[in-house]
Amino acid sequence: MFTKVSKKQSTFRILLIIGILFAAFNLRPAITSVGPIIGMIRDHVGMANWSVGLLTTLPLIAFAFMSPLVPRIARHYSNERVLSWGLMILVIGIGIRSLSYMISLFLGTLLVGIGISICNVLLPGIVKEKYPTKVGLMTSVYSTAMGLFAAIASGLSVPLAIGLDLGWQMTLLVWIIPAILGSFIWFYLSKKNRAQNNVDVAFISSSKRMWRSPLAWQVACYMGLQSFLFYVTISWLPEILHDISGMNMTTAGWMLSLLQLLGLPASFLIPVMAGRMRSQRSIVIILSICSIGGFLGLLFGTSMWMTVLSIVLLGVTLGGTFALALSFLAMRAKHANEAAELSGMAQSIGYLLAALGPVFIGFLHDVSDSWTAPLLMLIIISILVLLFGLGAARDRYVFDDVP
């Protein structure tokens, strides 16, 4: 009997890791696959530039408004079950978005954002609950998987749409495959894990109490401002390189892919390092120096070597700060449900700021007719990331100072 139970437990653990990986696979490709072919979508459907921009902004807005609601839903039905629902919503959204109608594009994009936001919020809590002594390692695993698939999605969009002549519809529809597989895996896990669905219910905190925690606000602002930098960079880096350095758009696009790939080692190593430290302030400082140096390099550098150095620094900092922010969601909480509450709050603020970032930086560029003011603003934001990160990196829990 002991052997049979052990085999079942081992199989469940392996499947749980696979489930976490498949959930991570789906956190960005449905968004990062849009940018390279957004012009093709605009021309085919007959949209204006401002309206086609909503295809990248709508998911972030959905993240902001859904994130506080997800922990409350999961409290009643379990993290595993709600995460499987999130992946199912993502499947439906990707399918609807791939139709050749403007209304289906917007509706599908909104559903994509809702589905991803559910997974975004619940994964840190699941990691905290299932791997309480290996939070850093498991966060490294899923944040690296997420970054890898984001970079792959960006790189494959044009080759699939034009090289294989699939068109933008089928190119976007390709990413329904990992979403379907992930939803099946998590549906099975939710059925097998019913006995543990109500763990820690007695210790669940109210959302109002979380919003009164100074440490929770520091974590949330760190998450928000680093997300601001990431989505601004993803949106505007090719244009910045083209205008400042005279780089052609094809090369500038490859530079964006290189930046995302360079972030993968940092996204894996930093959570592991952070998990071994009582305070993560040294990591925060190093990443902030890389961020400031990277944007300064874009501002003042016109040579290719300076541009490449800036890309390396920004790749390290953007991959590292996001992974560290995910680590804070688990490290600053005492248990899984508390981590889910903190995750909901932090990601709500984070993605609201991220949604405003590309628009605000674009507005600064329009007003100043140069990239100087936008890049100076990104340096200021990098300094704010440092300040909030120093607070979030303290060896404390979110409710230590909240009555």
DSSP per-residue string spanning 3-66: HHHHHHHHHHHHHHHHHHHHHHHTSSHHHHTTGGGHHHHHHHHT--HHHHTHHHHHHHHHHHHH
* pLDDT of res. 387: 96
Q: Is 188 helix (H, G, I), strand (E, B) or coil?
A: helix
Q: How confident is the model at residue 6 (pLDDT cuts 50, 70, 90)?
A: low
CB 229 within 8 A of CB 389: no
Mean predicted confidence (pLDDT) in 51-70: 79
Q: How confident is the model at residue 206 (pLDDT cuts 50, 70, 90)?
A: very low
Structure tokens at 55: 């295809």
Please choose, from the candidates 20, 7, 154, 174, the residue with its C-alpha nearest in 3D space to the C-alpha of residue 84.
20
Using CA atoms, how far apart are residues 193 and 257, in angstroms rounded to an integer?
Answer: 38
Mean predicted confidence (pLDDT) in 49-72: 77
Mean predicted confidence (pLDDT) in 42-49: 73
Summarised one tens digit per residue, pLDDT across range 131-161 is 887 877 887 788 888 888 888 887 788 788 8
* pLDDT of res. 202: 33
* pLDDT of res. 249: 61
Mean predicted confidence (pLDDT) in 343-369: 82
CB 326 within 8 A of CB 124: yes
Q: How confident is the model at residue 219 (pLDDT cuts 50, 70, 90)?
A: very high
Q: How confident is the model at residue 194 (pLDDT cuts 50, 70, 90)?
A: low
* pLDDT of res. 52: 65
Our CA dihedral for 191, 19, 70, 201, rounded to 10 degrees, sits at 50
Mean predicted confidence (pLDDT) in 176-191: 92
Summarised one tens digit per residue, pLDDT across range 381-402 is 999 999 999 999 998 888 877 7
Between these two residues, 332 and 347, which has the higher pLDDT value? Answer: 332
Is pLDDT above 90 for 111? yes
* pLDDT of res. 95: 95
Mean predicted confidence (pLDDT) in 350-356: 82
Q: What residues contact residue 9 under an 8 Å CB cut-off, 6+ apart?
A: none
Q: How confident is the model at residue 174 (pLDDT cuts 50, 70, 90)?
A: very high
Task: Find the range with the poorest average confidence among 288-297, 353-362, 377-386.
Answer: 353-362
Is pLDDT above 80 for 16? yes
* pLDDT of res. 357: 82
Is pLDDT above 50 for 366? yes
Place of tokens 């909030």: 388
Quick count: other Cβ atoms within 10 Å of Cβ 75? 18
Percent of the chain with pLDDT over 70: 91
Q: Is 174 helix (H, G, I), strand (E, B) or coil?
A: coil
Is pLDDT above 70 for 258? yes
Q: How confident is the model at residue 26 (pLDDT cuts 50, 70, 90)?
A: very high
* pLDDT of res. 207: 57
Is pLDDT above 80 for 200? no
Structure tokens at 150: 């984001």
* pLDDT of res. 1: 43
Q: What is the mean pLDDT of the chain?
A: 83
